[in-house]
Structure 1
């Protein structure tokens, strides 16, 4: 005996009846739920959703790091002249000071810078720590006066006679101060005798170029320093 199979007609009727029951059930549920949300409810829900969305966007914007400006202006680098200007000013100052020092060292009596030269010389003399060193520095100053006298004879500056007279007087006073310190030690040092010979060699050739008054001063000076080399003190 074989299995019973429903006929095609029966299967079609069953599907139709089942679909009708489902449609009827859905219609009943819809009638129970009513026509849908009221307009007031929909408007309130929409406003609430918009407020929530706006709050979330504000919180996200506050938490995000600030983005740099897309076209921030680049800082301009100073030019080479601006960057090297302090060094150039310092170098110019050094050159000026060096030139001023050279001109002061070679200044002659009557020049604008000569008082500065003598002031620096006096400072050097005052810094000597004992009589021997001061005598050495005074001998150096006397050598300077002899060289200045020779330069004045060839310079032809106005008032040359008075300038030479003053320079010879300064040379003699400085020489006597130096050699008197040597004499207090009891004997002439080799440096003092060498100084006397050098001064004699520098001053003696100037005699024919000097006027009578200054020539007499120069001769007296030579006689004084010659006693230092002759006596051997």
Structure 2
């Protein structure tokens, strides 16, 4: 399976944090500053951060401004609606540099989930690990950034499948990890065609032997989407 290079939606993540959000409307949620991206508007309603006004181009959304020493970020995300052209892009930043991206978009065969890692001196590849009830049930290493995991059990409703989304610097060699929790086990296909059913997906950066990831923490997460969304929980460490 292969996808083209990240489209303009994801390419926008290459913007550094300061210029992109200068003068943006910001609110406080879960003890963190959150700033609107593009035409999006933010509103805190009780325990929920509502992100509204996103356009079809998928360039609007929210930026979480994190402490400079953050090594773990996790949030509960709920998308509103969805159709065959809906998409979302996440970015992790450190010191104004985008160090990793993740992209979710529909394809002819299902919902495509992919990641790239930009800060390592390694081979530019990653591993995909799939878990079910906390047990590893499938994996593939050496995955290039233009390959994707396919979520086979998908239709428009499955923009509501997400449970928790996270980004972490927690591997011994400093490599970064994206985690995607699903509300229930779903049929998934790895890039090599292996089919498995799981409820948690990890994209783990591969660092060359003797190498080390140059970033030991991160300070921002961006989420751009063509769908309005809610953040229902958020934690950092």
Query: Do both proteins adopt the same fold according to a TM-score greater than 0.5, normalized to the shorter chain?
Result: no
The TM-score normalised by the length of structure 1 is 0.23
Provide TM-score, normalisation by structure 2. 0.22
**Which protein has the bigger strand share?**
2
Of structures 1 and 2, the one scoring higher in RCO (CA 8 A, sep 6+) is 2
Compare CA radii of gyration and give the structure with the larger one. 1
Bigger proportion of residues as helix: 1
